[in-house]
Amino acid sequence: MKPLPSDLQGAMADPRPDKSRTSSNPERTRPVGELDRRVQVRRRRAEGASRKPSEARRSRPSATSQKRSKPRSDAQRAALERRRRRAQAKRDGEQERVEAEERSRRQSEGKARAEAEAAERIRAEEEARLAAERERLNDPELKRRASWQTSDSNIYLTAGDDEPVADDWFEEEVPLGVVPVRDVSPARKRRTSAAMRARSLVIILAIFGAMAALALFVWVTRSVEFSVNDAIVTTHYGTTLADYLEGAGISVTPGNLVSVTGEVLEEGKGDAYSATVNGQLIRPDDASEVRLSGGEIVQITDGADITEDYDVEVVEAPPLLEFDGKAGAISYVSQWGSPGTQELLTGKISGAQAAGDYIEPPVNTVVTTVNVEPDEGRRCVALTFDDGPSSYTSDYLTILDQYGAKATFFMRPANIANNPEIAKAVKDAGHQVATKTDTYESLSDMDAETMQATIEGAFEALATDLDVHTTIFRPPFGAFTHEDWLKSGGVASMSVIWNCDSLDWETPGTYSIVSFALEGLGNGSVILLHDGGGNRDQTLYALPILIEELQSQGFELVTIDELLASDEDIPPVAASGDETMPEGSVWPTEILTEEE
């Protein structure tokens, strides 16, 4: 048998595991049992290599013993084969691991030896260089020619910025101007290392700054999309609206320079274009401040007009005439106006003047037109007689008294003068007296001064002849427009027409008069009848029939002021019929338009 290696003989002496037999190196420590198994594996391999064929045959079990052994089944043999293969694989893996560790150890030892040899070589070279330099410095000829100087007065013999060179640094004194070869001090090394790190940091920061600047440049110069006049276009991010429009070539017409009154002074001298961004108006002067970032909706249209420069003066602002309501038998002043203050603009080019903004807005005059709507529980109708007094007036008074009815008589001043007693009888009977002007001419055909004189003359006649003070009147033909109210100058507070016309002035017949008077009748209606101006026999015969019919329907026959008082929506001061323009109020000179 081939002898075992010397490093394994000790392990073979006692195969039992011993916890004390472990390596002092923690990394190389293995259990003894594992080492024994490795020893046994090596021994079996060594024995197998040295064993003779005859010995190998003798080691096999005899045929007799094989026959005596119990036969194995196929499953047992397969299991045994699997165990054998696993054991063999385990042994092969263990062997590979051991070999790998050995290779790694050898590589580490080789590397350490190479490093040590290199360090030793460098040290030897440095010692040789220092010896040669020392020998050169101690050359007698050099000492003879050179003047000697100690380190105290030689500025070149310093070991560093903060370390003076010792006098005994060299064995002999050093000649002037000769700098010794020496190692750099640790302090200088630290300063050099810090400076290098600082320079490296600066370089790195500069590189990152350049990269960030490049990324920012790419970002801010990217292309973005937006809409111009419903078309999608592209431009660089941050481009101003003014810069884009300058090169876009959009065709628009510039506005004009106009006066304060809106007249064109110079064509094409207004804004070059009108622009909106996301619905917000942008003046051309502000377009350079608007930067496009993508997604905007831009609309470009013709330029707006520019108003000339102007001077501003503060003046009194008169109220405007305002109308409330569309149609009705009653129109009255529901609010009297008062002035305010506003700017007066005077153009520097045209010299024209125009009203500017209000400083203190005026209070407008309001005329309200309604059909009377009596309060709940009352049914009222007003009978009215025009153009009296006349020869028929006394008979009318008798019939009205017979039925306990009241009425309103719109008398002409001339007829009052001709029949003063009859006019006084109307007032004494408790009926309302108002006026209808002396003229049969429409008030709409008169100028403002004539109209005001006509209406005021009628009111003065009632006050003088009957001591009746009223500002209620009935316009001829029932015609009194918005323009007529403007021209009236505030002399009247109420205009009363009708909403049921008997057409008795056409003398259609007694029953026709009754029928026409009841046509369209409602609660609060005003019925038109005539006292003078012609033959009123049919009206006289129709009156009792009409009264009976109205009373049978539950209507109360009242005067105009009583009818107005029955509607709580009409102010009592207006319903009185004698309201005049308050002190401090001003009548308008213009009608409020829808634009205002």
CA dist., res. 491 & res. 339, Å (int): 18
pLDDT (tens digit per residue) in 358-384:
999 999 999 999 999 999 889 999 999
Domains, in order of start, for the chain: 223-307 (3.10.20.30), 368-575 (3.20.20.370)
The SS3 of residue 159 is: coil
Which pLDDT belongs to residue 594? 77
- What tokens appear for 100 in the block? 């790998």
Which pLDDT belongs to residue 74? 82
Cis preceding linkage at 389, omega within 30: yes
Backbone Cα Rg of the chain? 65
- What tokens appear for 481 in the block? 């427009």
Give the residue among 413, 448, 452, 395 at the shortest CA–CA distance from 589.
448
Which pLDDT belongs to residue 157? 44
Q: What's the distance, CA 32 to chain centroid?
A: 84
CA dist., res. 435 & res. 330, Å (int): 15
Kindly list the distances between the CA atom of residue 365 and the CA atoms of 67, 328, 329, in Å, as whole numbers in the listed order: 142, 19, 20
pLDDT (tens digit per residue) in 121-151:
898 988 888 888 888 777 776 666 555 444 4
CA dist., res. 111 & res. 201, Å (int): 34
CA angle, residues 289, 294, 296, in degrees to nearest 5:
70
Secondary-structure percent of the chain, ordered helix, strand, coil, rounded to 5:
45, 20, 35
Give the residue among 327, 311, 316, 375 at the shortest CA–CA distance from 556.
375
CA dist., res. 393 & res. 57, Å (int): 172
Residues 6 or more apart in contact with residue 265 via CB below 8 angstroms? 256, 257, 258, 259, 308, 349, 350
| Cα end-to-end span (Å), the chain | 132
Looking at residue 444, the DSSP 8-state letter turns out to be G
Which pLDDT belongs to residue 216? 73
Phi-psi region of 185 (alpha: psi -120 to 50; beta: other; left: phi over 0): beta
Flag whether the pTM goes above 0.85.
no
Amino acid at 42: R
- If you write DSSP's letter for every residue of 365-428 in order, what string do you get? EEEEEE---PPTT--EEEEEEEEE--TTHHHHHHHHHHHT--EEEEE-HHHHHH-HHHHHHHHH
CA angle, residues 215, 218, 224, in degrees to nearest 5:
135
Give the residue among 33, 51, 43 at the shortest CA–CA distance from 9.
43
- Half-sphere exposure in the Cβ direction for 31 (13 Å, CA): 5
What backbone torsions phi and psi does residue 258 show, to the nearest 5 degrees?
A: -120, 160
Which pLDDT belongs to residue 194? 77
Residues 6 or more apart in contact with residue 380 via CB below 8 angstroms? 372, 374, 523, 524, 555, 556, 557, 558, 562, 563, 566
CA dist., res. 518 & res. 525, Å (int): 10
Three-state SS for 553-592 is: CCCEEECHHHHHHCCCCCCHHHHCCCCCCCCCCCCCCCEC
Residues of the chain with pLDDT under 70: 1-72, 141-192, 218-221, 595-596
- If you write DSSP's letter for every residue of 192-203 in order, what string do you get? HHHHHHHHHHHH
CA dist., res. 408 & res. 396, Å (int): 11
